Amino acid sequence: MAKVVLVTGVSRYLGGLLARRVAAEPGVERVVGVDVIPPPHPVPGVEFVRADIRNPMISRVIESSGVDTVVHMNVIATPTFVGGRTPQKEINVIGTMQLLAACQKSSTVRRLVVKSSAAVYGSTPRDPALFTEDMDARRTPSSGFGKDSIEVEGYVRGFARRRPDVDILMLRLANVIGPRIRTSITDYFSMPAVPVPLGYDARMQFLHEEDAIDALVLGTTGDATGVVNVAGDGVVTVLQAVALAGRPAVPLPLGSASFVGGVTRRLGLADFSPDQMSFLAYGRGLDTTRMRDRLGFEPRYTTREAFEAFAATLGSQGPGLGSVVDAVSGVAGAASQSVLTALGAGSVR
């Protein structure tokens, strides 16, 4: 049914890819991409409109193009890319409000797809192993992206009440990771030595960037509605991920997290808000039954494959760990070989 699709946040990585993919879908006549800066690479098949969703102007774009499907990709998880937490919050919250106001006024909009995040579930030690869509956060995230996501979802629910005729699909994506995308998680695991909370080993779920795009395309062109978790199968723990990334882990007490977070932010290594710190300590898992049933989506990558796809792109770290790994492998291999020969010799004797 999607004929004219509006994609916000089209100059960002996921938004750009999504717009391109949607434009290539059969039945889609026009794709209008909106962002405040032009996209870094040309997006074939997409009309780019330079507009700010924080501004009522967006309503005119929707009206003039006769948009029937709005894909809201402009909920930004990483403050680094927009110049800090304040603009991030403004873009996420005010932007969503303005966009929804425009959608509410529009007579043409029939479908709204919102890229939300698993961050709405928060992260506490009292969490169930896997969150279903009907569960709420045990402790509502009080800051950062998690709080933004909750507010965004709140506005979307308000919009759903006022415009019951519009189909709404909210996709709660697990942390998107992959060879190309850059988020705070990829920054974190790209650090030369990764600080981890001492005494914790949280479970994490990832979604490969291609799977994220596929799910969003499916959500845009399909007719699924409601809230759907999207994540790769399985989990990896923080320590396992650090090992997969081939980085040394530096355990630090959780109490020093804000200090270390500040230092890494100053150094420009990674930008972590308190709710992401608790994510690193307690982790989170999503139940993806509804993703398969309602959305009809099957991710191609498991959580671990997604992380390995990311880890394969990491450059070489210092000489230290690689040689340690090699040494251990070598020792293990040699030892087992020696044992074999010794056993063989012993049996002959």
Partner 1 sequence: MAARPGALAAGAARAGGERARRRSTPLIGAEPVAAAPVAVTTSATSKATPAKKATPAKKATPAKKTAPAKKTAPARKAAATKKAAPARKAAAAKSAPAAPAPVASVRKHRPAPRVTSAPSPRATTQAGERTGAGRLTPREKARRDAAARRPQLRVADPAAPRRRAARPAPPAPATPPAAAPPLAAVPPLDPTTASAPGRSGLPVPDLADVLDALVVGLRVAAEAAGVAPEDVERRVAQVLAYLRRRVEGDYDVDDFGYDEHFTENVFYPMLRPLYRHWFRVEVRGIENIPAEGGALVVSNHSGTIALDSLMVQLAIHDEHPQHRTMRALGADLVFQTPFVGTMARRSGSTLAASEDAARLFGRGELVGVFPEGFKGTGKPFSERYKLQRFGRGGFVSAALAAGVPIVPCSVVGAEETYPIIGNMGSLARLLGLPYAPVTPTFPWLGPLGMVPLPSKWIIEFGAPIDTSGHDEGAAEDPMLVFDLTDQVRETIQQTLYTLLMQRRSVFF
Residues 183-212 that bind partner 1 (CB under 8 A): 183, 186, 190, 197-201, 203, 209-210
List 28, 31, 82, 228, residue binding partner 1 (CB under 8 A)? 82
**Residue 13 binds partner 1, judged by CB under 8 A:** yes
Whichever of 162 and 332 has its CB closer to partner 1, that residue is 332
Whichever of 19 and 100 has its CB closer to partner 1, that residue is 19
**Residue 36 binds partner 1, judged by CB under 8 A:** yes
Q: Which residue type, as a one-letter code, is found at position 247? A: R
CA distance 173 to 297: 13
List 75, 218, 228, 241, residue binding partner 1 (CB under 8 A)? 241
CA distance 301 to 309: 9
Longest dimension (CA), the chain: 90
Residues 6 or more apart whose Cβ sits within 8 Å of residue 70: 5, 6, 8, 62, 99, 103, 109, 111, 112, 113
Burial of residue 264 (number of CB atoms within 10 Å: 0-12, 13-18, 19+)? middle
Distance in Å, CB of 254 to partner 1, minimum: 7
**Residue 340 binds partner 1, judged by CB under 8 A:** yes
Interface stretch with partner 1, choices 142-150, 163-171, 228-236, 256-264 (CB under 8 A): 228-236
**Residue 335 binds partner 1, judged by CB under 8 A:** yes
Distance in Å, CB of 242 to partner 1, minimum: 8
CA distance 249 to 326: 17
CA 97 to each of CA 76, 148, 172, 216, 304: distance values in angstroms, whole numbers, following the listed order: 14, 12, 19, 21, 36
Token pair for 46: 């997409």
Q: Which residue type, as a one-letter code, is found at position 163? A: R
Q: Which residue type, as a one-letter code, is found at position 234? A: G
- Pick out residues in 291-320 that bind partner 1 (CB under 8 A): 300-301, 304-305, 308-309, 313, 315-316, 319
**Residue 24 binds partner 1, judged by CB under 8 A:** no
- Pick out residues in 115-174 that bind partner 1 (CB under 8 A): 125-130, 132, 135
Whichever of 110 and 180 has its CB closer to partner 1, that residue is 180
Whichever of 158 and 342 has its CB closer to partner 1, that residue is 342
**Residue 107 binds partner 1, judged by CB under 8 A:** no
